[in-house]
């Protein structure tokens, strides 16, 4: 268990590396704050239970970089209490097949959650994400953005649910899934769902799927980039919205390098 005591502000980013697929419980006691980067480099499963108590703030990042000979399952359950703020970032690069089950429960008024994810597939990799944004109390907020870029014959499948029962009036919930197909054989599927009973809420979901924009590529080439450089700049820019939220410059730069190296493996399209 990782526990941050009441009224404690941890200024340095905490790093946790898991190579044994053990479960981890993270608790932030009232009015505490922390940034945690959790990296899985081996094993087949990651189980994380997170509790952000009243007035606490947690920024949690999970990076999966396992070998591409494994099937990996990520399980995350988070509970966010009154006036607490929880931001979670999920990065998927490794594994033959990765399944992410991410359940976020906003338990009390004033709870806020931001849920971000990036998957970058190549070869025959498959990434699945199943998310639940559960609003259990009024005046709660959640905002989700998941992105995937897919090369070769890789695939992504996203299914997300927003639940707002009758007692959770005046809640805001947003869900967006965007997919960038970098080859003709890459595939993406998006299934957003709303389960809304309350009648005084703001709620929106969106899904988008596209290929590299010819006009944008032409503009970049007119500025002196060759075709491959222009394509790579577009893809890196596509991920920037999520990667910029990682609180460690070193980790962020390493991930950008990983993206760049994968883009260099062969021509896109």
Q: How far apart are CA 216 and CA 212, in angstroms?
A: 8
CB-CB contact of 78 with 104 (8 Å): yes
Q: How confident is the model at residue 266 (pLDDT cuts 50, 70, 90)?
A: low
Give me 210's structure tokens: 């596209």
pLDDT at 70: 92
DSSP 3-state assignment of 216?
Answer: helix
Q: How far apart are CA 23 and CA 216, in angstroms?
A: 44
Q: What would the pLDDT profile of 170-220 be if each residue is shown by its tens digit?
A: 999 999 999 999 999 999 999 999 999 999 999 999 999 998 777 877 777
pLDDT at 216: 77
Overall average pLDDT of the 67-73 stretch: 93
Overall average pLDDT of the 243-254 stretch: 90
Q: Which residue has the tokens 């769902």?
A: 193
Tell me whether strands 202-210 and 172-181 are parallel, antiparallel or unpaired: parallel
Name the residue with higher pLDDT: 257 or 263.
257
Q: What would the pLDDT profile of 109-124 be if each residue is shown by its tens digit?
A: 999 999 999 999 999 9
Q: How confident is the model at residue 20 (pLDDT cuts 50, 70, 90)?
A: low
Q: What would the pLDDT profile of 208-231 be if each residue is shown by its tens digit?
A: 999 877 787 777 788 777 777 777
Among 153-157, 223-227, 245-249, 256-260, the range scoring the smallest mean pLDDT is 223-227
Q: What number of residues does the chain have?
A: 269
Name the residue with higher pLDDT: 74 or 223.
74
pLDDT at 19: 64
Tell me whether strands 202-210 and 14-18 are parallel, antiparallel or unpaired: unpaired
Q: What would the pLDDT profile of 127-175 be if each residue is shown by its tens digit?
A: 999 999 999 999 999 999 999 999 999 999 999 999 999 999 999 999 9
DSSP 3-state assignment of 227?
Answer: helix
- Alpha-carbon separation of residue 199 from 162, 168, 260 (angstroms): 14, 9, 46
pTM: 0.93
Euclidean distance between the first and the last CA atom of the chain, given in angstroms as a whole number: 45
User: Would the pLDDT of 83 be above 60?
Assistant: yes
pLDDT at 24: 93
Mean per-residue pLDDT over the chain, rounded: 92
Q: Which residue has the tokens 């730069």?
A: 253
């Amino acid at each position: 268990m990782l526990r941050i005591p009441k009224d404690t502000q941890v200024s340095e980013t905490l790093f946790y590396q898991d190579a044994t697929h053990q479960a981890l419980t993270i608790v932030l006691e009232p009015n505490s704050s922390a940034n945690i980067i959790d990296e899985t480099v081996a094993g087949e499963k990651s189980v994380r239970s997170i509790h952000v108590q009243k007035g606490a703030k947690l920024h949690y990042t999970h990076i999966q970089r396992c070998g591409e000979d494994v099937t990996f399952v990520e399980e995350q359950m988070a509970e966010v209490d009154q006036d607490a703020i929880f931001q979670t970032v999920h990065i998927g690069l490794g594994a033959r097949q990765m399944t992410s089950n991410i359940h976020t429960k906003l338990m009390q008024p004033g709870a806020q959650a931001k849920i971000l994810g990036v998957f970058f597939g190549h070869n025959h990799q498959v990434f699945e994400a199943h998310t639940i944004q559960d609003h259990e109390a009024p005046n709660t907020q959640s905002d989700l953005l998941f992105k995937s870029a897919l090369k070769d014959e890789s695939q992504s499948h996203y299914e997300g649910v927003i639940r707002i029962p009758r007692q959770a009036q005046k809640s805001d919930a947003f869900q967006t899934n965007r997919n960038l197909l970098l080859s003709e054989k890459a595939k993406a599927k998006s299934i957003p769902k709303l389960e809304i009973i309350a009648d005084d809420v703001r709620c929106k979901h969106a899904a988008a799927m596209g290929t590299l924009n010819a006009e944008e590529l032409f503009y970049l080439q007119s500025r002196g980039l060759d075709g491959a450089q222009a394509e790579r700049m577009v893809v890196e820019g596509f991920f920037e919205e999520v990667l910029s939220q990682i609180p460690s410059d070193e980790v962020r730069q390493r991930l950008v390098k990983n993206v760049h190296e994968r883009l260099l493996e062969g021509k896109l399209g």
